[in-house]
Amino acid sequence: MGEQVLAAVRTGPGRTELREFPMPEVPDDGALLKVEVAGICGTDVKMYAKPPFADPVIMGHENVGVIARAGRTFAERQDVREGDRVFVEHYVGCMRCEWCRIGEYRHCELTDWRTNPDARRYGYTTSDNPYHLWGGFAQYLYLPWNAVLHKVPAGVSAELAGIATPQSNGIEWALFSAGVGYDSAVLIQGPGQQGLSQTVACKQAGASLIIVTGTSRDAARLELAKRLGADAVIDVQTEDPRDRVRELTGGKGVDIVLDCTSGAGTAPVLLGIDALKRREGTLLIQGELAAFPDFPVKQVTEKSITIKSARGHSFRACELAVKQLASGRFPLQELATHRFGLSDVDRAIRAVGGEVGEDVVHVSLLPWED
Ligand SMILES: [Zn+2]
Ligand SMILES: [Zn+2]
């Protein structure tokens, strides 16, 4: 028997098994990544509890590691060598369509598991596919010719680089989608890793007022939000967030609202609509709810609100995120609060879901540890 690779495989709702896979033969235009860190986010919590399909999946879509083996053509085209530390985007685009050509792989049909059953996307593609290693909760990850890599600068640890995904979302959603910039007043709802990454992006972009909301159990995260640049924080359970936003903005309301909550129902969107300024504010929303009963469409149109959707990150956002991590300008290492080994994937995902441990912000899965 040849070399084997250990992986944590999702075999059903809330079920994980450790399995071994044969070490793939690396083709000339492919490579193997030795996974150092796989970040876990709220999406994993949802996909673990309610898998979108029954096939076995090695989850883990926020992956950092070292190039262990690279075919000659892969190394040449990707400009990498064995030993290089890289952050791997989870999108594996076709590289031919218009979206891919402009660096927006996230919109490519070939990486969209929702509409394409044969899509390739790390953490979502079944391990039944050739090469098997399509997720970061494994010792190795297979890299085809069209994997998108970002080199991690020297001095940035694997664990810190593991924050590249939430940080790139922060840059994408707050700056590129919602247009936060110089002198913006922003309300960020939810102080999890995503809300905190948005805080940093807004601060660096020059926002003059950053307000972050949370609940009473978020006390430590709200303190961290202040260290990362929030001007004010609101505990929505002990204070009236509408009154506080009005007070903090001199009665005007904020320019932009970013919803980074999870499992909070319609409340964050309704608060966002109320908190926005009288005209032309922007609201960035998540797609958690399938439908929105009694959506206040009249208020939205009267306030001339623009609604934007939170949807992943572009190549440019990832590059900027990696640069920001390397700059050391913000204490982003404070986000990396918890680490788990490969045999603890189940606990690690539950920790992100708030079921295990306290004050969890960002969880790192280290596949070479037990
Ligand atoms: Zn994620
Ligand atoms: Zn494409």
CB atoms within 10 A of CB 208: 12
Helix runs in the chain, H state only: 42-49, 72-78, 98-101, 158-161, 164-170, 193-205, 219-227, 241-248, 267-275, 297-302, 315-327, 345-352
**285, burial (CB in 10 Å: exposed 0-12, middle 13-18, buried 19+):** middle
Res 1 pLDDT > 60: no
Helices marked H in 67-192 — which ranges?
Answer: 72-78, 98-101, 158-161, 164-170
Cα 123 to ligand 1 centroid, rounded to whole Å: 9
**Residue that is written with structure tokens 């050739």 in the block:** 130
pLDDT in tens, 199-247: 999 999 999 999 999 999 999 999 999 999 999 999 999 999 999 999 9
Distance 60 CA to ligand 2 centre (A): 22
Beta bridge partners of 211: 187, 232
Tell me if 231 sits within 8 A of 239, measured CB to CB. no
- Cα–chain center distance at 72: 31
CA–centroid distance, 110 to ligand 2, in Å, is: 6
- Identify the residue whose tokens are 């929303």: 285
State pLDDT tens for residues 146-187: 999 999 999 999 999 999 999 999 999 999 999 999 999 999
What pLDDT score does 2 carry? Answer: 79
Averaged pLDDT score across all residues of the chain: 96
Mean pLDDT, residues 117-128: 95
Structure tokens of 100?
């891919």
Q: How far apart are the CA of 84 and the centre of ligand 2, in A?
A: 26
Per-residue pLDDT tens over the stretch 311-339: 999 999 999 999 999 999 999 999 999 99
Cα 48 to middle of ligand 1, angstroms: 12
* pTM score over 0.85: yes
Beta pairing class for 256-259 and 282-285: parallel
Residue found by looking up tokens 């919109």 in the block: 107
Tens-digit pLDDT profile for residues 36-61: 999 999 999 999 999 999 999 999 99
Kindly report the CA angle at 317 between 311 and 323, in degrees rounded to 5?
Answer: 145
Instruction: Tell how far the Cα of 309 is from the centroid of ligand 2, in angstroms.
Output: 20
